[in-house]
Homo-oligomer: A and B are copies of this chain.
């Protein structure tokens, strides 16, 4: 055996495993979970409004009445009844789909994994927003695909930038496999793609032969009760759509789905079988009964109300406490605000001091594959109460003041150039 003496398996790992690294902030987050820390880091939905008593009875009945089915192996595509209900859910976003084109997955994270598995060889390029969802970047890295980030602003991805990126990547001789986008209430950027841009980006991608992977976990969480029309609604052939019950119902069941053109769907089902044999039947039946027997849309409305109140608390606190030159996005739904600090700040370097001051966030660099984002941070308003959010932002502002003090005394450190990103209410001055 050769190699690292601490890990005798080192010489045996796959190349992709070199890209699997524990986040540098992981150990900090263990601390950040302590109750005295206000965590604006996590993306946990706030479930307290779930009707647990009725759910308890429903789940009990499921086991008593249908236990031998719920506890047995099932189909690699997922149970038919739930796939029909998923089509009804997607119809709210203008999507017309057949249940046969839906595959149920272990959360939409598994759907991301399967789509990447089906499409990406090492070195292939995936286009994604700048910034993009950290879980997607992890998956793309696991398949050794390269992410090319595309500029967005307060109205989402910029169509001209998409077109230019396609040309540039192809001119460099590389293969683009798809454009990954979160059009609604973006994680982490908090912005929403305008309807006009959806149409235009769909056209650009269709014309260029670049499929769109539309990831939409937050689509029903718009605070003005408006549901945006999905990109998939107007292009059934070039768009693969990912959905999830993690934010509209509960993440602990890990039930998501992928809607794909039929030929792609066949590959995805085979990949699903290879990964898990089948998603848990029990969980699918719980979700199916929940959709049938509960007023799930009112529950989503309750979630929206909770999150809107928290968004307001966070935006108000940012206005009150943030130092001059700080900008942030104004999310009309979802869980996240994207904050850009004034020049000279390094959000990743600052995090240990923030945790010491009992507030946590995710540094912007987590959401880029290319090292950008050092002046940005993602603040979540989904889980803490409004009072805790205000207190957390207040603490964060205190940390920033201390940093400013140090910079005034010793001068700002050199930071690398910033990628322009979404930054309402005032423009990113980098």
- Chain A residues in contact with chain B, CB under 8 A? 1, 6-10, 12-17, 20-22, 43-45, 47-48, 50, 52-53, 55-57, 59-64, 67-74, 106-107, 109-110, 113, 117-121, 124, 135, 138-139, 141-143, 177-178, 209, 211, 237, 246, 250-254, 261, 263-264, 266-267, 270-271, 273-283, 286
- 5 shortest interchain CB distances as A-B pairs: A60-B60, A7-B263, A71-B250, A56-B64, A71-B252
7 A-B pairs within 8 Å (CB atoms) are namely A17-B117, A55-B67, A56-B60, A57-B60, A59-B63, A135-B273, A252-B281
Contacts A56-B64, A71-B252, A273-B138 known; A117 to B267 CB distance under 8 Å? no
Which residue of B has the minimal Cβ distance to A44?
Answer: B73
When the two chains form the complex, which single residue of B50, B68, B74, B139 contacts A71, counting CB atoms closer than 8 Å? B50
Which residue of B has the minimal Cβ distance to A4?
Answer: B263
Cα-based distance from A17 to B283 in the complex (angstroms): 28
Besides the known contacts A45-B72, A52-B64, A280-B280, 4 further A-B residue pairs in the complex with CB atoms under 8 A apart:
A9-B263, A13-B118, A60-B60, A106-B280
Which residue of B has the minimal Cβ distance to A141?
Answer: B274
Report A8 CB to chain B, min CB distance, Å. 7
Interface of A is mostly: helix
Which residue of B has the minimal Cβ distance to A8?
Answer: B237
Cα-based distance from A252 to B59 in the complex (angstroms): 14
Cα-based distance from A408 to B388 in the complex (angstroms): 84
Residues from chain B with a CB closer than 8 A to the CB of A50 are 67-68, 71
Cα-based distance from A266 to B53 in the complex (angstroms): 38
Whether B271 and A20, one on each chain, are in contact in the complex, defined by CB atoms closer than 8 angstroms, is yes
Report A257 CB to chain B, min CB distance, Å. 14
Which residue of B has the minimal Cβ distance to A282?
Answer: B252
When the two chains form the complex, which single residue of B47, B68, B279, B280 contacts A52, counting CB atoms closer than 8 Å? B68
Report A245 CB to chain B, min CB distance, Å. 10
Whether A252 and B142, one on each chain, are in contact in the complex, defined by CB atoms closer than 8 angstroms, is no
Contacts A14-B117, A60-B59 known; A253 to B71 CB distance under 8 Å? yes
Whether A56 and B52, one on each chain, are in contact in the complex, defined by CB atoms closer than 8 angstroms, is no
Residues from chain B with a CB closer than 8 A to the CB of A60 are 56-57, 59-60, 63
Whether B70 and A252, one on each chain, are in contact in the complex, defined by CB atoms closer than 8 angstroms, is yes
Residues from chain B with a CB closer than 8 A to the CB of A282 are 252-253, 283, 286
Report A385 CB to chain B, min CB distance, Å. 15
Whether B274 and A113, one on each chain, are in contact in the complex, defined by CB atoms closer than 8 angstroms, is yes
Contacts A53-B64, A107-B277, A277-B109 known; A44 to B72 CB distance under 8 Å? yes
Report A174 CB to chain B, min CB distance, Å. 13
Whether B61 and A211, one on each chain, are in contact in the complex, defined by CB atoms closer than 8 angstroms, is no
Whether A17 and B67, one on each chain, are in contact in the complex, defined by CB atoms closer than 8 angstroms, is no
Cα-based distance from A47 to B68 in the complex (angstroms): 6
Residues from chain B with a CB closer than 8 A to the CB of A16 are 117, 121
Cα-based distance from A113 to B113 in the complex (angstroms): 12
Report A97 CB to chain B, min CB distance, Å. 17
When the two chains form the complex, which single residue of B6, B53, B177, B283 contacts A12, counting CB atoms closer than 8 Å? B177
Cα-based distance from A267 to B18 in the complex (angstroms): 9
Residues from chain B with a CB closer than 8 A to the CB of A120 are 14
Report A367 CB to chain B, min CB distance, Å. 16
Residues from chain B with a CB closer than 8 A to the CB of A178 are 12
Whether A275 and B277, one on each chain, are in contact in the complex, defined by CB atoms closer than 8 angstroms, is no
Which residue of B has the minimal Cβ distance to A73?
Answer: B251
Report A9 CB to chain B, min CB distance, Å. 5
Which residue of B has the minimal Cβ distance to A51?
Answer: B67
Cα-based distance from A70 to B52 in the complex (angstroms): 11
Whether A280 and B261, one on each chain, are in contact in the complex, defined by CB atoms closer than 8 angstroms, is no
Whether A274 and B44, one on each chain, are in contact in the complex, defined by CB atoms closer than 8 angstroms, is no
Specify which of A12, A211, A274 lies most central, judged by the most chain B CB atoms within 10 Å of its CB.
A274
Residues from chain B with a CB closer than 8 A to the CB of A110 are 275-276
Whether A73 and B276, one on each chain, are in contact in the complex, defined by CB atoms closer than 8 angstroms, is no
Residues from chain B with a CB closer than 8 A to the CB of A20 are 118, 267, 270-271, 274
Residues from chain B with a CB closer than 8 A to the CB of A209 are 1, 8, 12
Cα-based distance from A106 to B277 in the complex (angstroms): 9
Residues from chain B with a CB closer than 8 A to the CB of A22 are 266, 270
